[in-house]
């Protein structure tokens, strides 16, 4: 096993599964971290556990988070409806920050990853953010990631002692189809990943939320069959 | 009530109590946030709730955190002993980062505060960090705070939309005795605050941990009677 340890944020979605496969392929011993933050469905955490196992991670942990209690997002606040685009409505996602944005989510996720990285003696943190086919979240942009990396090196014992902490974002400039093709070349089974914001209890994706639309288009553009089970 | 809302991190200790009093005095409507992160004693959360009430906060919430599960600190990991200095041992705290450091703690705390601030429409976050009489934690330094403020403005809807988020650290350059004198002028009752890292079940402070020593010296240097109940 490699001495180079990495913490990998793993949601159970397409992007983070690919990110884990890349980190393993680069020779890191991967410690995967998922969050139970009151998201509408928890199936993705079970998918994450399976993916960590299949893709050769050393360990998988799920941390419970209280951020859902602050409300403010359709993903955690049951009073808000997940925005969908019905068939025939060809309007693309707009530039506005959508209701599915969870306040400060990636900041909180990366902070936890940083804490675990310190304890593990890991200097690399992988996160599957993407600045191309994304949903307009401010905390998916390269400048956000760079700012977090600066912070990480000031915030920690490791940073202070001169061990540079890197926030690794191997997907940041890839289009969805490129992510999918990369993952397939590394053996990711995308039927075992979930993207839908409002997955049914039967495990079927809605097919109409932003996340489903972006995923569908990715498989179409890659000329691959989409293994997702849609409603 | 003021329209200027602030999130105030409130531990139940001397510094954060003073910080809350300052924020209230500056005219902010204060929303106080405490954390239950597996610290050795939870009395400080009860003190925090009381302090929020006494000092005129609008609301107090306690978020449960899972960071204790990563281990690595004497404050959350029961396998590690809190370092103490016994009477007769006059060695001062060293420059090394101590065992009581909780990995990435202030990063996680500020991330949560940021999430709540976004939901509340608050642009100010108060934290009672101090770079003078502190225990050598990397995440108490001004450069850490500045890096978090940069991050906050890139991470959030508010920041992206041009509402500058400020991380307010009114104590950062004050010595402990100055903090105490400021708090007393604003009506803080320090007998209702707790600093000890290993408070007894009877509510008595150990008097020998770093935090007790710094607190004791603060009252002595301010020529004030220390209202703390020591063992």
Sign of CA dihedral B189, B194, B196, B198: positive
What is the end-to-end Cα distance of chain A in Å, rounded? 42
Q: Report how far residue B46's alpha carbon sits from residue B112's, in angstroms, rounded to the nearest whole number.
A: 20
Q: Report how far residue A43's alpha carbon sits from residue A60's, in angstroms, rounded to the nearest whole number.
A: 15
Edge-to-edge strand ranges of the sheet holding A124-126: A59-64, A29-36, A5-9, A124-126, A166-168
DSSP-derived 3-state class of residue A88: coil
CB contact under 8 A, B154 and A147: yes
Q: pLDDT exceeding 70 applies to what percent of chain A? A: 80
- Closest-CA residue of chain B to A114: B104
The verdict on A9 touching B (C-beta cutoff 8 Å) is no
Q: Report how far residue B169's alpha carbon sits from residue B173's, in angstroms, rounded to the nearest whole number.
A: 9
| Per-residue tokens: A176 | 């969805």
The verdict on A142 touching B (C-beta cutoff 8 Å) is no
The verdict on A70 touching B (C-beta cutoff 8 Å) is yes
- The band of A90, judged by pLDDT with boundaries at 50, 70 and 90, is very low
Rounded mean pLDDT, A148-153: 96
pLDDT at B203 over 50: yes
**Tokens 């299949």 identify what position?**
A54
User: What per-residue confidence (pLDDT) applies to A74?
Assistant: 54
ipTM above 0.85, yes or no: no
User: What per-residue confidence (pLDDT) applies to A5?
Assistant: 97
User: What per-residue confidence (pLDDT) applies to A131?
Assistant: 84
Q: pLDDT exceeding 90 applies to what percent of chain B? A: 53
Rounded mean pLDDT, A24-39: 90
B148 torsion bin: left (phi>0), alpha (psi -120 to 50), beta (else) = alpha
pLDDT at A208 over 60: yes
User: What per-residue confidence (pLDDT) applies to A88?
Assistant: 47
User: What per-residue confidence (pLDDT) applies to A163?
Assistant: 85
User: What per-residue confidence (pLDDT) applies to A190?
Assistant: 95
Report helix angle B176-185 to B210-221, nearest 10. Answer: 60
Rounded mean pLDDT, A5-15: 95
Q: CB-based contacts of B3: which residues, under 8 Å, 6+ apart?
A: B29
| Per-residue tokens: A65 | 């988070």
For B:85-104, CB contacts with A below 8 A are 97, 101-104
Q: Mutate which of B62, B71, B105, B119 to disrupt the A interface (most A C-beta within 10 Å)? A: B119
pLDDT at A70 over 90: no
Considering just the CA atoms, what is the radius of gyration of chain B in Å?
A: 17
Q: Report how far residue B65's alpha carbon sits from residue B42's, in angstroms, rounded to the nearest whole number.
A: 13
pLDDT at A87 over 70: no
Residues of A with CB below 8 A from B37's CB? none
CA angle B50, B26, B225 (to 5 degrees): 50
Read off the pLDDT of residues B88-112 as tens digits, 9 standing for 90 and up.
Answer: 444 444 445 555 556 788 999 999 9
Task: State the pTM of this model.
Answer: 0.85
The answer to whether the beta carbons of residues B169 and B15 sit under 8 Å apart is no
- The band of A212, judged by pLDDT with boundaries at 50, 70 and 90, is very high
Helix (H) or strand (E) holding A75: none
Rounded mean pLDDT, A25-50: 86
- The band of A162, judged by pLDDT with boundaries at 50, 70 and 90, is confident
The verdict on B165 touching A (C-beta cutoff 8 Å) is no
The verdict on B167 touching A (C-beta cutoff 8 Å) is no
Residues of A with CB below 8 A from B152's CB? 107
Minimum mean pLDDT range among A107-111, A115-119, A129-133, B152-156: A129-133
User: What per-residue confidence (pLDDT) applies to B199?
Assistant: 80
Under 8 Å CB pairs connecting chains A and B tally to: 137
CA proximity to A111, closest of A33, A29, A216, A200: A33
User: What per-residue confidence (pLDDT) applies to A138?
Assistant: 85
CA proximity to A148, closest of B144, B115, B103: B144
Considering just the CA atoms, what is the radius of gyration of chain A in Å?
A: 17
Q: What is the mean pLDDT of chain A?
A: 84
| Beta bridge partners of residue A29, listed in sequence order | A5
Q: Report how far residue A25's alpha carbon sits from residue A3's, in angstroms, rounded to the nearest whole number.
A: 14
Residues of A with CB below 8 A from B143's CB? 154
Task: Give CATH for domain B5-221.
Answer: 3.40.50.620
Q: Mutate which of A67, A151, A152, A160 to disrupt the B interface (most B C-beta within 10 Å)? A: A151
Domain ranges of chain A: 5-221
Backbone angles phi, psi at A175, to 5 degrees: -80, 160
Read off the pLDDT of residues B57-77 as tens digits, 9 standing for 90 and up.
Answer: 999 998 887 766 676 655 555
**Tokens 């690595």 identify what position?**
B72
CB contact under 8 A, A144 and B159: no
Q: What is the mean pLDDT of chain B?
A: 84
Q: Report how far residue A192's alpha carbon sits from residue A130's, in angstroms, rounded to the nearest whole number.
A: 20
User: What per-residue confidence (pLDDT) applies to A151?
Assistant: 96
CA angle B115, A34, B76 (to 5 degrees): 75
Q: Which of A63, A64, A108 sits opposite B112 (nearest CB)?
A: A108
**Tokens 């106080």 identify what position?**
B32
Rounded mean pLDDT, B117-139: 86
Minimum mean pLDDT range among A4-13, A64-73, A155-164, A180-189: A64-73
Q: Report how far residue B149's alpha carbon sits from residue B157's, in angstroms, rounded to the nearest whole number.
A: 14
* Residue-by-residue DSSP string for A54-106: HTT-SEEEEEE--GGGG---TTT-TTSPPPB--TT--PPP-SSPPTTPPTTHH
User: What per-residue confidence (pLDDT) applies to A79?
Assistant: 54
Higher pLDDT, A133 or B35: B35
CB contact under 8 A, A119 and B159: no
Higher pLDDT, A194 or B32: B32
User: What per-residue confidence (pLDDT) applies to B80?
Assistant: 52
Higher pLDDT, B222 or A63: B222
Q: Report how far residue A185's alpha carbon sits from residue B162's, in angstroms, rounded to the nearest whole number.
A: 42
Counting every residue written for chain A, the total comes to: 231
Higher pLDDT, B140 or B153: B153
Rounded mean pLDDT, B25-43: 85
User: What per-residue confidence (pLDDT) applies to A89?
Assistant: 46
**Strands A5-9, A166-168: parallel, antiparallel or unpaired by DSSP?**
unpaired
Torsion of CA B134, B138, B140, B144, to 10 degrees: 160
The verdict on A170 touching B (C-beta cutoff 8 Å) is no
């Amino acid at each position: 096993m490699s001495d180079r340890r990495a913490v990998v944020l793993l949601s159970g979605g397409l992007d983070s599964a690919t990110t884990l496969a890349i980190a393993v392929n680069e020779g890191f011993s991967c410690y995967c971290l998922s969050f139970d933050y009151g998201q509408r469905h928890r199936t993705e955490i079970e998918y994450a556990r399976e993916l960590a196992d299949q893709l050769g991670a050393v360990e998988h942990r799920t941390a419970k988070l209280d951020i859902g209690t602050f409300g403010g997002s359709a993903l955690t606040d049951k009073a808000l409806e997940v925005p969908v685009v019905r068939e025939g409505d060809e309007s693309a996602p707009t530039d506005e920050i959508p209701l599915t944005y969870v306040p400060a989510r990636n900041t909180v996720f990366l902070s936890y990853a940083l804490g675990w990285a310190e304890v593990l003696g890991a200097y690399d943190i992988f996160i599957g953010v993407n600045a191309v086919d994304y949903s307009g979240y401010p905390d998916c942009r390269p400048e956000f990631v760079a700012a977090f990396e600066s912070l990480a090196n000031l915030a920690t014992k490791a940073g202070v002692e001169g061990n540079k902490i890197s926030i690794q974002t191997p997907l940041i400039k890839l289009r969805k189809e490129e992510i999918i093709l990369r993952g397939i070349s590394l053996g990711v089974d995308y039927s075992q990943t979930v993207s839908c914001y409002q997955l049914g209890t039967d495990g079927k994706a809605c097919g109409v939320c932003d996340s489903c639309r972006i995923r569908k288009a990715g498989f179409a553009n890659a000329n691959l069959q989409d293994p997702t089970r849609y409603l």
